[in-house]
Amino acid sequence: MYKCQICGSNSEPNTPAHKIIIAARKATYPFRARANACWKWIKERRKFVHTDDRGGQGVERVREVLACAACAMKFANSANGDNAKTDFRNDGKRRR
């Protein structure tokens, strides 16, 4: 049970919620040497090693709201919804 952050209505119990990404930004992460510490098997012996973090680039969510199914469908069909992505994780239909 949740309150839709777009229309403000309360949902019925056991109704899946949808997360709508309002804003996203590109992000780059730098290479970091010896950032991760872990145990590795090296020549049949466990050894504690530090591995590098490769870094990279991707997309970060800046703002997302919890919405009911009707608002999520409205948002996905609207002209604004071209750039936005809805996350249908709760009902098994994942769309990216």
List of residues contacting Zn ion (CB under 5 A): 4, 6-7, 68, 71
Q: Smallest distance from the beta carbon of 18 to Zn ion, in angstroms?
A: 9
Q: What single-letter DSSP state applies at residue 78? A: S
> Quick one: 24 or 65, whose CB is closer to Zn ion?
65
Q: Smallest distance from the beta carbon of 60 to Zn ion, in angstroms?
A: 25
> Quick one: 4 or 86, whose CB is closer to Zn ion?
4
Q: Smallest distance from the beta carbon of 33 to Zn ion, in angstroms?
A: 47
Tokens of 12: 């019925």
3-class secondary structure per residue, 18-67: EEEEEEEEEEEECCEEEEEEEEEEECCEEEEEEEEECCEEEEEEEEEEEE
> Quick one: 9 or 51, whose CB is closer to Zn ion?
9
Tokens of 45: 């012996």
